[in-house]
């Protein structure tokens, strides 16, 4: 009797959730093979752009104390090697948040908290964000962020806030809501702004 497929929830940069049916010992390449050929996935991420190569990115989950600089640098852009096993990533995350529907069945709890994201490595669908005056993050920290063709600036900001666990309200005197923004900066080939 054939083993039933292992269902792996996989986010796209647009926030859409796709499910890859793979074996229990699947690798990142197996996720790419299962999803990148689907027309709805291509339309969701590429939106008509020519297909480039694909990658699987580990989704950042901030620890309760926040990030330390060394931890962020080690994480890098989160792209997995194509031979990395997916199973251990699905079982290593924190429990699902109370806002999502939670299953009491341990074998299906991974379905509620995606741990990976399928990303296009197309040059038009990735940007480098440099943090400046962001609480809890060091200035000049570069973040490589992957986009879908229809990703908005607001979605990028909200995604960074969520994945890095950024503070939304500053307490104490002079505190209040923190507004994060993207500022476009052109850097010529010689590196001078």
Beta strands in 59-192 (DSSP E): 116-120, 126-130, 142-146, 169-170, 176-177
**pLDDT at residue 91 in the model:** 67
**Which pLDDT tens digit goes with each residue over 31-79?**
999 999 999 999 999 999 998 899 999 998 777 666 777 777 777 888 9
**Terminal alpha carbon distance of the chain:** 63
pTM for the whole structure: 0.81
Contacts with 36 (C-beta within 8 Å, 6 or more apart), sequence order? 42, 51, 54, 118
Contacts with 158 (C-beta within 8 Å, 6 or more apart), sequence order? none
How far are the Cα atoms of 65, 130, 153, 160, 180 from residue 183, in angstroms, in the given order?
Answer: 28, 10, 10, 14, 10
**pLDDT at residue 72 in the model:** 73
Contacts with 161 (C-beta within 8 Å, 6 or more apart), sequence order? 168, 180
Q: Indicate the pLDDT class of residue 154, thresholds 50, 70 and 90.
A: very high
Name the residue with higher pLDDT: 134 or 33: 33
**At residue 1, does pLDDT exceed 70?**
no
């Amino acid at each position: 009797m054939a083993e039933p497929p292992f269902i792996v929830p996989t986010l796209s940069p647009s926030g859409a959730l796709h499910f890859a049916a793979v074996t229990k010992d699947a690798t990142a390449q197996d996720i790419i093979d299962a999803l990148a050929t689907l027309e709805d996935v291509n339309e969701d991420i590429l939106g008509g752009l020519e297909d480039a190569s694909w990658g699987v990115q580990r989704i950042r989950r901030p620890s309760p104390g926040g990030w330390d600089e060394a931890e962020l640098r080690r994480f890098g852009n989160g792209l997995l090697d194509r031979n990395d096993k997916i199973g251990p990533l699905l079982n290593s995350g924190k429990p699902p948040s109370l806002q999502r529907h939670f299953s009491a069945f341990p074998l299906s709890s991974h379905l509620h908290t995606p741990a990976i994201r399928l990303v296009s490595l197309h040059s038009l669908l990735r940007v480098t964000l440099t943090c400046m005056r962001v609480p809890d993050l060091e200035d000049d920290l570069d973040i490589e962020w992957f986009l879908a063709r229809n990703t908005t600036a607001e979605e990028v900001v909200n995604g960074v806030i969520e994945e890095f666990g950024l503070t939304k309200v500053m307490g104490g005197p002079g505190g209040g809501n923190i507004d994060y923004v993207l500022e476009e900066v052109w850097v010529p080939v010689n590196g001078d702004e």
